[in-house]
Amino acid sequence: MNDSERDYDYDLFVIGAGSGGVRAGRVSASYGARVAVAESAALGGTCVNVGCIPKKLFVYASHFREDFRDSTGFGWTTPEPSFDWSVLLANKDREIARLNAVYASLLSDAGVELVTGRARIVGPHTLEVAGTRHTADHILIATGGWPSLPEIPGIEHAITSNEAFHLKELPRRALIVGGGYIAVEFAGIYHGLGVETTQLYRGPLFLRGFDDDVRTAVAEEMRKKGLDIRFDSNVAAIEKVTTGLRAVLEDGSSLEADTILYATGRTPNTRGLGLEELGVEIAPGGAIVVDEFSRSSVPGIWAIGDATDRVNLTPVAIHEAMCLARTLFRGEPTKPVHRDVASAVFSQPPVGCVGLSEAEARRAYPQVDVYRSRFRALKHTLSGSSEQTMMKLVVDRASDRVVGIHMVGPDAGEIIQGFSVAMKCGATKAQLDATIGIHPTSAEEFVTMRDPV
C-alpha cells in the first residue's frame, strides 16, 4: 500500500451492515485492510431482521397445523392445537436480537470499526456520518433494497413485509397483493396460522421467472390447502371502513380484510447517499450500475448486493463481497459468478431450483430433453393429504449436460442444494442415471427418471 493511500482514514468504508457489507468488511480486514462499516439500523440488514431468518421461522410456525393434522394417520391423537401469536413474536425477536449481537461480535473480532448512523458521500473518498467526516481509499455501497408500493388511493393503509414481522395482533383476514416469492411465502404463512387469506396477482400466474411447471404446481397445491388465489386481479384503491379495510379491485369488485400486505417488488436502497451528486451512474430503477468486478462508474466507489439489482439473494451478496475483498486487498481480481445460482421459495409446499427453466433452455440450446415426475410422497399414503411433489430435469441433448433442476415439495431447498453442486461440476444425465438412489426418499426421483416427456 503506498503512502497516498495511507493518507486516508480507512482503506475501505462500507455503507450498510447487512450480509454483504459485513462479509466484505470482515474479509477485507483479514487481508490487512483498515475497515469501517456504517449502519443506521439493526445489524444484519434485511435478511436477519425482516427477511430470510424471521420469514423461515414464521414458515416453520405456520406449517405445524398441517403437521398436527398429518400425525393422526400415523396413530397420534392430540388435543385441538391453539396458537399464540405473541409467543411466536417474542421468541422470534429474541433470536433476532441474538443474531444482531453475533454480527456486532463478528465485526469487532475482525478489527472492523462500526460507525452508527446513516452515511452520505460528500466528495471524492469522503463520507459523513452523524456530523463526522471520514475518508477512505475505497467506498462500498451495500445498502440493500426496500419494499416499494404503488401510488394508489389509500395505499397508506397497507403494510409491507417490513411491518408484517411486527404486527401486534394476528389478523383474522389478510389480503396479500403480489406474485413474487415474498407474496407467496406470506400467503402460506398467514393461511397456515389460521388467517382467512386471499392472494391477488395482476398477471395470469405468479412466480414469474420460475419454470412454468413449478409455477403451476405451486398454485395447484396452495389452492388444495384452501388458499384463495386470484390471478389477473389488482387493487385500484384501499378504503378504511368500520369493519377493517376494503380493497376495491380494478374490475369494480371489492374485498375486505384486517390487513393488506403489499409484496409487489423491492427497490434498491440508494437514495440520499450522495451518489448522483458525485456522478455515479444509477439505472432508472435506482440500482447502481457496476461492471463485472462490482466497480461503479466513479473510481473508488463499489457496490454489491441488492443495491446493484443483479441477483438479489443473500448468499449472492456474500459471494460478491468475497470477490470484492480478494480484488481490492489480496491482489486477486475476482469476478462474481451469477450463473446457476440455486434458490428456494419457502412456499407451502416449498420450491427449490437451480439452472435454467425449460423455456430458457429451449432458447439457449437447439434441442432439449425434459424429464418430469409428479407423485404423492410416501408420508401422505398414511397422512391422508393429497399433496403432490413435482420434480423436473432439463437437459441439453447435444452434451447430455443437466442445465436445469426444479422441485416443488417438502425439503426442496435442502435437496436442491446438493444437486446444485453436481450442476456446478457439469453433471450429465448419464451420471445422474448412474447414481444409486437412497430409498425411500423423494430425492431419489432425480436419479431414477429415465424417459423424457
pLDDT the model gives residue 6: 61
Pairing label, strands 368-375, 389-396: antiparallel
pTM tops 0.85, yes or no: yes
244 shares its domain with 348: no
% of the chain surpassing 90 pLDDT: 98
Name the residue type at position 388.
Q
399 shares its domain with 429: yes
**In this structure, are residues 384 and 410 in contact, taking their beta carbons and an 8 Å threshold?**
no
249 shares its domain with 274: no
253 shares its domain with 365: no
pLDDT the model gives residue 3: 44
Residues acting as catalytic residues: 439
- The DSSP string of 183-240 is HHHHHHHHHHTT-EEEEEESSSSSSTTS-HHHHHHHHHHHHHTT-EEEES--EEEEEE
pLDDT tens per residue across span 269-289: 999 999 999 999 999 999 999
pLDDT tens per residue across span 228-248: 999 999 999 999 999 999 999
Look at residue 94 and tell me if it is in a domain. Answer: yes
Q: Is residue 2 very low, low, confident or very high in pLDDT (cuts 50, 70, 90)?
A: very low
pLDDT the model gives residue 78: 84
9 shares its domain with 142: yes
Q: CA 284 to CA 291: how far, in whole Å?
A: 17
Pairing label, strands 254-257, 145-147: unpaired
Cis peptide bond upstream of 349, omega within 30: yes
61 shares its domain with 119: yes
Q: Is residue 170 very low, low, confident or very high in pLDDT (cuts 50, 70, 90)?
A: very high
Q: Which residue, 286, 303, 329, sits at the end of a domain?
A: 329
Mean pLDDT of 32-44: 97
pLDDT tens per residue across span 204-232: 999 999 999 999 999 999 999 999 999 99
357 shares its domain with 370: yes
Q: Which long-range contacts (CB under 8 A, 24 or more apart) does 316-322 make?
A: 316/341, 317/18, 317/19, 317/20, 317/23, 317/142, 317/144, 318/19, 318/20, 318/23, 320/20, 320/294, 321/19, 321/20, 321/21, 321/23, 321/24, 321/27, 321/142, 322/23, 322/24, 322/27
Displacement of CA 93 from its chain's centroid (Å): 20
Given a cut of 60, is residue 5 above it in pLDDT?
A: no
CATH number, domain with residue 67: 3.50.50.60
Domain that holds residue 387: 343-447
Given a cut of 50, is residue 387 above it in pLDDT?
A: yes
